[in-house]
Structure 1
Amino acid sequence: MTHDPRPFGRLLTAMVTPFAPDGSLDVEGAAKLATYLVDEQRNDALVVSGTTGESPTTTDAEKETLLRAVVDAVGDRARVVAGVGTNNTAHTIELAHAAEKAGAHGLLVVTPYYNKPPQAGVERHFLTVADAVGLPVMVYDIPHRAGTAIATETMCRIAEHERIVAVKDAKGDLTASSWVLSRTGLAYYSGDDAATLPLLSIGGVGLVGTSTHFTGVLAKEMIEAFERGDNAAALALHRRAMPLFTGIFRVPGTMLVKAGLNAQGRPAGPVRSPLVEATGAELDQLRRDAAAAGITL
């Protein structure tokens, strides 16, 4: 199956979901944050309601409201990808239909988590969702969260579906990814900020990032340098960004991204339980990581 080699551009950020001080959805803040990420951090697309967006603790109605706000804010100049993955195929399809109606340009569908289906179940889940919608699908392979990896043979089979076009690759197995890239037309996006350059070297096309709330410009420059064949510049940018590429995950990334955005005076607000607010010490460490990358928080 032949697909657009970069169906969602080169750089995407898995956007946090801004909340008001009382914990309710901050719709205006979401629009402002999306605008900042696209216009200042150079994102080609945004993922809303991913794990970083606290999708486990937002309601279906909130997900739809958030998506509409982001599409209205930046949908004319960036693609908006809706996270609709759950461990219930029927519920995933419901969320996918709602996202399609709300104007999403694509869907992010994670491997069903916790219930650990066999590969036959993983395959059927993705194909059933892709059959049910008209939007392009990015498959999210993140076994350390989902509890189940998408096997190479499974990935190659589901790649035959015309609407399964991309992978957010957080497997941490470049050999497996290389095999899939050699056998399919799937566009591979790193799901681990620090692994972006290695993934590009085997045929990946970009990044769905978390630290890119702050490192978007650096990450975009790194990807562009690699694409024009300037490997030395790409490597230098990779090494410069590494303290924040990795430091953002010292605790769950959502906590530190929101702490950093709040410190900058940008829309973010609190996290929802069971996450907790980053401590002062954790924010101080994040500031040191950012400073090491040449970024001020």
Structure 2
Amino acid sequence: MAGAPALGRVLSAMVTPMRDDGSIDLDQAQALAVHLVDHGHDGLVVSGTTGESPTTSAEEKVDLLRAVVEAVGDRAVVIAGTGSNDTAKSVEETRLAQKVGADAVLAVTPYYNKPPQAGLVAHFIAIADASDLPVMVYDIPGRSGIAIARETYVRIAEHPGICAVKDARADYWLASELMQATGLDWYSGDDAANLLHFANGAVGFVGVTSQVAPTAYREMADAVLAGRWDDARAVHRRLAPIVEAVMNVTQGAIMAKAALVEQGLIGGPTVRLPLVPADEVQRGLVREALAVVSA
């Protein structure tokens, strides 16, 4: 992992703080962004799935991105989630992201409509052609319903604007092959597998739980970079309870917000339907996990 990757190593897909009435709280979004950068984040993803992008409007996405860019300035890479299952919409949002000041965009595999691989190639290239911003492709077949084929990776990697992959596929052998075949910067997109991805050659991660325990995740990344694998494993194991609570009890945005409320970093757990806030049992599990991580 010689040299710092252009998009950083420690990144989180930020939650989108909301008021009780469901409106976006831009002040809290800025405060959270600054907190994460102050505690070791190199980058932030705004309006990813954890940011509830399916239920926020294009105007809200622009306002949120502008607020985060203003808050962190050049202290961190700000990546706008602009992908969708509508290529024209993704292209337009990518152009807007550049105008607002994003440093890069995250483009998820088109979901639900299950395009052929030729459609994926055309989709990702259209997004990359839409602006001068670097593109991180997001491969998450468990949610999108389709995986990016090896041949598709090789073809899109030829585009100079496509530079990175967020991998939530859990196929580490394929990931290892693709890193070598494409030269793309590889990022873990699975909180439970960050250490596995690092060992496999990934340059960093885009996490959810990392916004709840930013110092610990920075510590793990730095240990890996320094070759202190025993230390990295120790942090990984210490983080296991909070990863389990945030990612596996219910949906990630729900539990990340519950944890951030417990820490006093956002004001409330409001999410937009069809998501619902964590219940008392779930909040109790988060509290217990946070106690272990901070001990």
Report if TM-score (shorter chain) is over 0.5. Answer: yes
* Matched residue SS, 2:213: helix
User: Is structure 2 residue 83 aligned with structure 1 residue 91?
Assistant: no
8 Å contact 1:7–1:166 — kept in the other structure?
no
* Matched residue SS, 1:75: helix
Shift of 1:233: 0.9
User: Is structure 2 residue 259 aligned with structure 1 residue 260?
Assistant: yes
Percent identity over the alignment is 50
* Matched residue SS, 1:208: strand
Q: 2:215 aligns with which of 214, 217, 224?
A: 217
8 Å contact 2:262–2:287 — kept in the other structure?
no
**Corresponding letter in the other structure for 2:146:** T
The aligned residue for residue 15 of structure 1 is 14
Residues 5 and 148 of structure 1: CA distance in aligned 2, closer, same or farther (over 3 Å): farther
TM-score of the aligned structures, taking structure 1 as reference length: 0.95
Q: 1:208 aligns with which of 193, 206, 209?
A: 206
* Matched residue SS, 1:235: helix
Matches within 5 A, 1:271-282: 271-282=271-282
**Corresponding letter in the other structure for 2:5:** R
1:50-107 C-alpha deviation (Å, 9 max, x unpaired): 0000000000000000000000000220110000011000000010011100000000
CA distance in 1, matches of 2:130, 2:263: 41
8 Å contact 1:60–1:95 — kept in the other structure?
yes
Q: What is the RMSD of the two structures over their aligned residues, measured on CA atoms? A: 1.2
Give ranges in structure 2 of 5+ residues lacking alignment: none
* Matched residue SS, 1:76: helix
* Matched residue SS, 2:212: helix
Give ranges in structure 1 of 5+ residues lacking alignment: none
* Matched residue SS, 1:289: helix
8 Å contact 1:244–1:286 — kept in the other structure?
yes
Which stretch of the first structure deviates more once superposed, 20-29 or 64-73?
Answer: 20-29
* Matched residue SS, 1:139: strand
Shift of 1:268: 5.1
CA distance in 2, matches of 1:151, 1:5: 28
Q: 2:64 aligns with which of 63, 66, 69?
A: 66
TM-score of the aligned structures, taking structure 2 as reference length: 0.96
The aligned residue for residue 290 of structure 1 is 290
1:161-204 C-alpha deviation (Å, 9 max, x unpaired): 10100011101110111110111211111001111111111110
Shift of 1:5: 6.0
